[in-house]
Structure 1
Amino acid sequence: MPIDADHARQALAKWEGFPVHREPRPIVLTQMGVLALDRLMADTQWRALFDGPAVPASELPPEIVAAAIDYCRDVQTGAPRPLARLIQANGPFATDRGPRELPAWMMYPDDRRWPFIALDPDFERRMTWWPPGMSAYGDEECTLADDGRTLTYRFTGTPAQYADYPSAEVFESDTAVLVEPVEVPLDGPDGIRLDYAETREVVVRLTAPLGNRVLIRVAHGPGFNTFGSPLTVITSAHRSMDTAPGPCQN
C-alpha cells in the first residue's frame, strides 16, 4: 500500500532543523550511537585501544557517570562495583554515512563480553545532530552511486517468493529524503508460509543529489519514536573514511 503523503511530510518535518549546510556536516548517529555489537565482535583492531593509558575516574563527564556505574554493576547480583579501568580515545560509532571513529570514554572489564563505549558529551553537543525524542531503528545500509542521485535502497520486506518491489515512492525536502518501496503481492506457493521477512532492495533516482541530506524511513509510523529515523548511506567518499581517524576533541 502506498505511503500516506501526509505521513511522509510529517517524517520529513522532523528533520527541518537539520543544519544541512553547516561545515563540517553534523554527524548523525544511528543504532543508538555505538557501532553494532556484532561488528565489534568481528573487528579486533579496536581492542588495542584498551592498552592505552588509563584516565582517572574523577575525569569522567557527569553526563555519563550514571551509565558507567550501571555498566560496572555485578552481572550476577546487580551490586555496585568500582568503575573499571577508564580509557579516553576514538571509539567505533555507527553514523548515517558509515562507521566513524569518534571521541569516546570506554571501559572493558575482564568479565564483560562487550565494552562500555560512550560518546564524549562535549563532542556530541558540538558535532552531532538528532531530532528530539527520536530513537534509532534497524541497521540496513543503502548505497549511493557516484552520480549522487542513484540510490540502492535496502530494507526488510516481504520475501521475494511472496511479493515484488518494482518501484518506490520518493519524498524529498531540503534536509531529508524518504523512500517507501511499493509492494506488489505475488501468488505464493501453496502450503505453510515459513519466511516472513528478508532483506530486499529497490533502486531509485533522486530529483537532486543527496548531498548532506539525511535518508530517513517511516519505521513503525506516526506515533512511534522511530518514525523518521535515519538510515546509513554509503558513498564512495565515505567508504574512504572508514579507516580515517576521527575528529579531535579540540
Structure 2
Amino acid sequence: MPIDVERVRQALALWDDFPVHREPRPIVLTEMGVAALDRLKADTEWRALFDGRGVSEAELPPEIAPDAIDYCRDVQSGAQRPLARIIRAHGPFATDRGVRELPAWMMYPDDRRWPFIAMDPDLERRMTWRPSGLAAVHHEEAVLADDGRTLTYRFIGTPAQYADYPDAEVFETDTAVLVKPVEVDLDGDGIRLDYAEEREVVVRLAAPLGNRVLIHTGHGPGTPTFGSPITVLTPTDRGA
C-alpha cells in the first residue's frame, strides 16, 4: 500500500508547537498498557505505598474528583459507593520516554484489579504537553541505540510468512519523527490465516532524536489516536 504523504504531514504538524528546547523537557504521557499494569500489580514494594496514611476526601482536587467517584462505583450494579482511602505519593505514569514516578493521587480498594492513579493537576498543567484532542494509546515500544540516531521501530504488521518489511520511510521535523514501514507481499494469493504479529524495522534518523517525539498515524485523521506518541527507550531501559 503506498504511503499517504499528506496524512503523514498532517500528523507531524500536530506537534509543530511542541517546546522541544524547553528545560526540563515537557512530559508526554502515553497510556499505561496491560503489561505495565501487570508488572505494577506484582510489585509488592510499590503496593506498600497504600499501607501509609491517607488524606481526607476534602483534599482531593476538584479536577479529578469526578473520575475518582466514578472509579469507586460498584462494578456490578454501578451504584455509588464511598471513596476508597486516598493517598498522595509518587505513582507510575507511562510517558514517551518510559515509566516515570510522578506526584499523584491514588486509591486501591481490595476488590479492584487496578489502582486509581491521577496525576497531580498542577503538575499536569505545568509539565505535560499534548496536542489538543489527542488521546493516549497503548502501543509497542521503539528502542534508540546509543548513537541517538539508530532506531529499532516495533509495530503490529502482517505476519512474516506473508510479507516482509525490508525498509521504512522516515519523516522528520524539528519537533517530531514518524516512521512508515514499507511492506512487500510474499505470497501473492491473498489467503492469510494469521493477520497480525509484532514486526520491526531498523532505521537511521537524519539527526539525533533528542527531545523530539516519535509519533504514528493511529486510526487516521479525525480520530483521537492520529499523531499519538510512541514510547522510545534505550537499550539500558530494556535491561540490555
Range into which the TM-score falls when normalised by the shorter chain: over 0.9
Could you say what secondary structure the match of 1:179 adopts? strand
Measure how far apart 1:52 and its partner are.
1.7
What CA RMSD, in Å, does the superposition of the two structures yield over aligned residues?
2.1
| 8 Å contact kept, 2:162–2:192 | no
Match of 1:23? 23
Q: Identity percentage over the alignment?
A: 77
Match of 2:177? Answer: 177
Runs of 4+ in 1 over 2 A off after TM superposition: 32-45, 136-139, 190-194
> What residue number does 2:209 align with?
210
Q: What residue identity is the alignment partner of 2:182?
A: V
**What is the distance in 2 between the residues matched to 1:97 and 1:168?**
22
The correspondence of residues 144-183 of structure 1 with structure 2, limited to 5 A, is: 144-183=144-183
The offset of 1:3, in angstroms, is 1.7
Deviations 1:141-170 (A, max 9, x none): 100001000000000000000000000010
User: 2: CA distance between counterparts of 1:45 and 1:58?
Assistant: 28
2:172 counterpart letter in structure 1 = E
Determine the structure 2 residue equivalent to 1:95.
95
Q: Is it true that 1:131 corresponds to 2:144 in the alignment?
A: no
Contact 2:32–2:93, Cα closer than 8 Å, also in 1: no
Deviations 1:34-76 (A, max 9, x none): 9842332343332111112211111000000000011111222
Structure 1 residue 109 displacement after superposition: 1.1
**What are the superposed Cα offsets for residues 205-236 of structure 1, whole Å, 9 maximum, x if unpaired?**
00000000000001112222211100000025
Matched residue type, 1:179:
V
Q: What is the alpha-carbon distance in structure 2 between the residues aligned to residue 209 and residue 134 of structure 1?
A: 25
Is the contact made by 1:33 and 1:93 (CA closer than 8 Å) also made in structure 2?
Answer: no
- Consecutive unaligned residues in structure 1, runs of 5 or more: 243-250
8 Å Cα contact 2:12-2:176 kept in structure 1 = yes
CA distance in 1, matches of 2:43, 2:73: 26
Aligned-partner Cα distance in 2 for 1:211–1:146: 12
Determine helix, strand or coil for the equivalent of 1:139. Answer: coil
Which ranges of structure 2 fall in alignment gaps of 5 or more residues?
A: none
Shift of 1:33: 9.2
Whole-angstrom distance in 2 between the partners of 1:143 and 1:32: 18
Do the aligned partners of residues 112 and 16 (structure 1) sit closer, same or farther apart at CA in structure 2, a change above 3 Å counting?
A: same
Question: d(CA) in 2 for partners of 1:8 and 1:113?
Answer: 38
Shift of 1:191: 10
Q: Report the equivalent of 1:227.
A: 226
Structure 2 Cα separation of the partners of residues 99 and 36 of structure 1: 9
Query: Is the 2:134–2:226 Cα contact (8 Å) retained in structure 1?
Result: yes
2:49 alignment partner in structure 1:
49
Q: Is contact 2:32–2:138 with CA below 8 Å preserved after alignment? A: no
Mark the CA change 1:213 to 1:21 in structure 2 (over 3 Å): closer, same or farther: same
Alpha carbons 2:141, 2:233 under 8 Å: kept: yes
Deviation, 1:192, is 6.2
Q: CA deviation at 1:9?
A: 0.9
Contact 2:31–2:137 (CA under 8 A) maintained in structure 1? yes
SS in structure 1 of the partner of residue 70 of structure 2:
helix
- Provide the rounded CA distance (Å) in 1 between the counterparts of 2:122 and 2:50: 22
CA deviation after TM superposition for structure 1 residue 20, in Å? 0.4
- Equivalent residue number for residue 196 of structure 2: 197
